[in-house]
């Protein structure tokens, strides 16, 4: 007899604003703190949920080390004040880590292994750089030419996509300008407000003349990436950064980000 597969539903979602790494507004915010903040924000949307019914927390992270090391999912659960009966598992498939966390959580519910699961993603590219803090690749993986791409970052990947599908520099720049325009229009209209849990941040800056530590506080509630000054003319002046004869620049490729 076939077992009935039950449905899985998303009942609450939220995120932090997205900061630019490595010098943006969230460069000093720990990723496990960001994770705990969004877990708390999501649970606030379902106040009738008994936390003891939550079986697990699946968190995607591209480089799970240093400030986002050990088992960040479990750490985030505990920082969010959930009972220690809630488990945690941190997964890594680089850029798709977060969406794979959603997939795993949904599958566990659909197969009857759990009734409530938290799915999340968190990353601080300010604190943990691409490739991690210690690059120690196994040289044998490169014994075959077809394995070279395992070390490709998003920049070289973009170059390969552009080459294979004949995407011109002009089309990439035009797409980038339109992306900024749409994002800014959404910000100005308040379209993103409902999906962001504002993040309070405290900055501490030393006054070298007096030895005093100046403390300032700010609530972050807006994505930092969209740039109002972006124009086709400005993007056209940028040099390629991943391939000297390529077409991908800092202006038409994805930014490095901090967020959860």
Q: Name the band, by pLDDT with cuts 50, 70 and 90, for residue 4.
A: low
Neighbours of 39 (CB within 10 A): 27
Return the pLDDT at 16. 98
Q: Contact at 8 Å (CB) between 203 and 215?
A: yes
Q: Contact at 8 Å (CB) between 117 and 109?
A: yes
Encode burial over 64-75: b for 16+ CB neighbours within 10 A, e otherwise: bebebbeebbbb
Least confident of 1-15, 40-54, 202-216: 1-15
Q: Contact at 8 Å (CB) between 203 and 25?
A: no
Tell me the average pLDDT of the chain. 95
Handedness of CA 111, 113, 116, 122 (dihedral sign): negative
* Alpha-helical segments (H) within 80-194: 97-110, 154-164, 169-189
Return the pLDDT at 84. 95
* Domains, the chain, ordered by start: 19-124 (3.40.47.10), 139-253 (no CATH)
- 54 DSSP 8-state letter: E
Pairing state between β 89-91 and 54-60: parallel
Q: Given a cut of 60, is residue 1 above it in pLDDT?
A: no
What's the rounded mean pLDDT across residues 118-131?
96
Radius of gyration in angstroms for the set of CA atoms belonging to the chain, rounded to a whole number: 21
> What is the Cβ-side half-sphere exposure of residue 183, based on CA atoms within 13 angstroms?
17
Partnered with residue 91 across adjacent β-strands are 60
**How large a percentage of the chain has pLDDT more than 70?**
98
What's the rounded mean pLDDT across residues 200-218?
93
What's the rounded mean pLDDT across residues 119-123?
98
- pLDDT, one tens digit per residue, over 226-240 is 999 999 999 999 999
Return the pLDDT at 199. 97
Return the pLDDT at 2. 60
- 14/11 Cα distance (integer angstroms): 11
Nearest Cα residue to 98 out of 114, 118, 125? 118
Separation of first and last alpha carbons in the chain: 42
- 35/41 Cα distance (integer angstroms): 10
- pLDDT, one tens digit per residue, over 85-101 is 999 999 999 999 999 99
Give the three-class secondary structure for 205: strand
- 38/196 Cα distance (integer angstroms): 9
- 230/111 Cα distance (integer angstroms): 47
- pLDDT, one tens digit per residue, over 137-184 is 899 999 988 898 888 888 999 999 999 999 999 999 999 999 999 999
């Amino acid at each position: 007899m076939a077992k009935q597969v039950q449905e899985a539903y998303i009942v609450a979602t939220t995120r932090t604003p997205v900061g630019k790494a490595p010098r943006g507004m969230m460069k000093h915010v720990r990723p496990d703190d960001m994770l705990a903040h969004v877990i708390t924000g999501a649970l606030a949307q379902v106040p009738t949920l008994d936390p003891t019914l939550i079986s697990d927390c699946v968190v995607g992270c591209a480089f799970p080390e240093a400030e986002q090391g050990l088992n960040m999912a479990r750490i985030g659960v505990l920082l969010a004040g959930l009972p220690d009966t809630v488990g945690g598992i941190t997964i890594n498939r680089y850029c798709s880590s977060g969406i794979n966390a959603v997939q795993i959580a949904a599958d566990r519910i659909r197969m009857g292994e759990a009734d409530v699961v938290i799915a999340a993603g968190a990353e601080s590219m300010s604190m943990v750089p691409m490739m991690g803090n210690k690059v120690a690749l196994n040289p044998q993986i490169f014994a075959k030419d077809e394995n070279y791409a395992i070390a490709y970052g998003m920049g070289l990947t973009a170059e390969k996509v552009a080459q294979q599908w004949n995407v011109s520099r002009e089309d990439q720049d035009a797409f980038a300008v339109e992306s900024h325009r749409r994002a800014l229009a959404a910000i100005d209209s308040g379209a993103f407000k409902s999906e962001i849990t504002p993040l309070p941040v405290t900055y501490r800056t030393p006054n070298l003349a007096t030895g005093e530590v100046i403390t300032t506080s700010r609530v972050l509630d807006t994505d930092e990436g969209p740039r109002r000054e972006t124009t086709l003319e400005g993007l056209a002046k940028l040099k390629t950064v991943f391939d000297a004869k390529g077409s991908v620049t800092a202006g038409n490729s994805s930014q490095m980000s901090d967020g959860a």
